[in-house]
Structure 1
Amino acid sequence: MVEIHVTYRGELRCGAVHAPSSAELVTDAPVDNQGRGESYSPTDLVATALGSCMLTIMGIRARDEGWDLDGATVKVTKHMVADPRRRISKLEVRFALPNLADEARDVLERAAETCPVFESIHPNIEVPVHFGWAELVR
């Protein structure tokens, strides 16, 4: 169990503290939803959580197998809709990864698509994933 303490700071901004580490982050409502867009929005954090979780789980498997995943990147593009309610409609995920053997690719792709955040995404949200093997330039 982990606690996150969130405080409303006014003007559509919140501060959040990760209790175990005391790390802080700030959220701000996006410009298209009456905010200033000066920091991550709450829905941006969903996209951030997805990409970082997928890479972290891939990193665990790569480390366990002795595969070098250093420098791998992921870009998550968040799409919003407003009808019937404002919500995330799609999270497009694009990886740039080193050139690894087919066996490693299969293991790491399965790992990414079974990370806890991916498993927690509502089925109404599309999550197309592209693994760009050999796209990482070192």
Structure 2
Amino acid sequence: MPIQQSDVLYTAVATAEGGRDGRVATDDGKLDVVVNPPKEMGGSGAGTNPEQLFAAGYSACFQGALGVVARQEGADLTGATVTAKVGLGKNGDGFGIIVEISADIPKVDRGTARSLIEKAHGVCPYSKATRGNITVTLV
């Protein structure tokens, strides 16, 4: 069920200039980065790119969702990390993305870790936004 405008707790605002070969900045000045296509796509690779920014946001959001689930389950997340790999490739007549989320949760057994990751995928806002739109693999 989509959220309503009255339910919004926070809104982030970013403006891009020059698309994949320019810069992007937030309205509060906390983020202001040069973006360039990666070398694999013919760019200079000098700056970051949208896929790296998406991977950063997704991994942080997923880590937060994992924390919520772990607290509910009484699991220890000490030393846990979440990595998001975002791939960009041809998709019909355009481009699409694919994501792999991996989590290292050293204080729990493999089965518990898998359960926590699957539950986090169910509550993570990024996972909810991408569900049914792109392939997301959990590792």
Q: TM-score, normalised by structure 1?
A: 0.70
Measured after TM superposition, the shift of residue 64 of structure 1 is: 5.9
* Partners of 2:22 and 2:36 within 8 A in 1: yes
2:48 aligned partner, one-letter code: Y
Measured after TM superposition, the shift of residue 81 of structure 1 is: 1.6
* Partners of 1:91 and 1:126 within 8 A in 2: yes
Measured after TM superposition, the shift of residue 105 of structure 1 is: 6.0
- Any unmatched runs of 5+ in structure 2? 1-9
Q: Indicate whether 1:24 and 2:31 are aligned.
A: yes
1:113–1:98 Cα change, 3 Å: farther
SS at match of 1:128: strand
* Partners of 1:54 and 1:112 within 8 A in 2: yes
Alpha-carbon distance between aligned partners in 2 of 1:18 and 1:72, rounded to the nearest angstrom: 32
Q: How does 1:95-134 map to 2 (within 5 A)?
A: 95-100=103-108, 106-107=115-116, 109-121=118-130, 123-130=132-139
Q: Indicate whether 1:62 and 2:70 are aligned.
A: yes
1:40–1:122 Cα change, 3 Å: farther
Alpha-carbon distance between aligned partners in 2 of 1:62 and 1:18, rounded to the nearest angstrom: 33
2:50 alignment counterpart: 42
* Partners of 1:51 and 1:93 within 8 A in 2: yes
Q: Indicate whether 1:73 and 2:102 are aligned.
A: no
Alpha-carbon distance between aligned partners in 2 of 1:105 and 1:49, rounded to the nearest angstrom: 21
* Partners of 2:38 and 2:49 within 8 A in 1: yes
1:126 aligned partner, one-letter code: T
Q: Indicate whether 1:92 and 2:112 are aligned.
A: no
Question: Identity across aligned pairs (percent)?
Answer: 26
1:94–1:38 Cα change, 3 Å: same
1:124–1:107 Cα change, 3 Å: closer
* Partners of 1:62 and 1:108 within 8 A in 2: no
- Any unmatched runs of 5+ in structure 1? 131-138
1:3 alignment counterpart: 12
2:4 alignment counterpart: none
SS at match of 2:85: strand
2:31 aligned partner, one-letter code: E
Aligned Cα root-mean-square deviation (Å): 2.9
